[in-house]
Amino acid sequence: MMQRTGGTETMPALVPEYPVHIHEMMQRLGIGPETGVVPGLSLRYATAVRRCKLCEFKASCRDWLACAPAKVNFAPGFCLNADILFELQYDQRGPRRGAG
């Protein structure tokens, strides 16, 4: 649908029809947002975002996030990014969770 603004027609901004839960999943796993900019980790991060966008288990993920505690150690078994998220947890900078 075209929108009219100031005498010209423009296309409305595209809004994805799918939610991407990767950021909330990363937060629950204790993976910091800086992971996407750390050399060596950024490709894994980009791959995880893409997998999340294409995932067929969005409803399961949404339900899992709604019921899971604020901090978890592992992504759920149905998560296509479980392997990448585990690697990101292990490879991120800073002190290890549970250390100390």
- More confidently predicted of 41 and 59: 59
Structure tokens at 87: 């690697």
Reply yes or no on whether the pLDDT at 58 is more than 80. yes
- More confidently predicted of 7 and 79: 79
The residues near 45 (Cβ < 8 Å, ≥ 6 apart) are 35, 36, 88
**In the chain, where the domains are located:** 18-91
pTM above 0.75, yes or no: no
As a whole number of angstroms, the distance between CA 60 and CA 64 comes to 6
pLDDT band for 95, please (50, 70, 90 cuts).
low
Dihedral of the alpha carbons of 19, 25, 26, 28, in degrees to the nearest 10? 140
- pLDDT for 37 equals 66
pLDDT band for 93, please (50, 70, 90 cuts).
low
Find out whether 66 and 54 touch, Cβ atoms under 8 Å: no
